[in-house]
Amino acid sequence: MTSSTSIPGLARFNTSADSDALAALHEVCASSAWGNRLLAQRPYATTEALFLASDAATAELTAGDLAEAMAGHPPIGRPKPGDPTSAREQSGMAGASEALKAEMLELNLAYQERFGHVFLICATGRTGGQMRDAVRERIGNSPEQEREIVRTELGKINRIRLARLVERLEHQEEGPA
């Protein structure tokens, strides 16, 4: 097992000021409950320990906490302007046809009307067609089923973003998280 001292990014995260670490965690997931739980469990011996803590914190999010987390995610096909993270994660929509983009807009709106929140999917590595098919399939779910699918997708997104955070900190010169 590799210790955090041999993973510079994780060591930097573990030793950064609480306010800096919390700000970095908020970029990963907009849920304050999730971020506070991960912050409270520092230091992490390994990246896997950080991932497991994230999974546990995600599993314990209330409906309100999930709503707060989802509020930090733009609709599929409409990444936040100037946000390279959402643009990178949704890159499968970048080359989609105008017809597919229009269909995704309609499906996003129908989904949001049905469930009261943005359609959340771990879009990394998915094509526009795969995301469209997923929203088509999931729009028929019950709110309870969908909440658990959203929780699972959020967990996947959080793991990817935490890995990128540790990697970014590894290559960062001395400074805050």
Which residues, including other chains, have CB under 8 Å from residue 75's CB and lie 6 or more apart? 105, 108, 112, 118, 119
Residue 69 has pLDDT above 90, yes or no: yes
Residue 177 has pLDDT above 50, yes or no: no
Residue 8, CA atoms < 13 Å, CB-side half-sphere: 9
130 vs 175, more confident: 130
* Per-residue model confidence (pLDDT) at position 89: 78
Mean of the per-residue pLDDT values of the chain: 90
* Per-residue model confidence (pLDDT) at position 9: 93
* Per-residue model confidence (pLDDT) at position 92: 80
Mean of pLDDT values over 134-151: 96
92 vs 70, more confident: 70
* Per-residue model confidence (pLDDT) at position 175: 46
Q: Say whether 73 is catalytic.
A: yes
Mean of pLDDT values over 126-140: 95
Confidence of residue 78 (pLDDT cuts 50, 70, 90): confident
The Cα 126–Cα 34 span in angstroms is 26
Confidence of residue 173 (pLDDT cuts 50, 70, 90): low
Q: Is the pTM of this model over 0.75?
A: yes
User: Which amino acid belongs to residue 164?
Assistant: R
What 3 state SS string does 21-32 have? HHHHHHHHCCCH
Mean of pLDDT values over 26-38: 97
Q: What is the per-residue burial (b if ≥16 Cβ within 10 Å, else e) of 105-118?
A: eebbeebeeebebb
Phi, psi dihedral angles at 72 (to 5 degrees)? -85, 0
* Per-residue model confidence (pLDDT) at position 72: 87
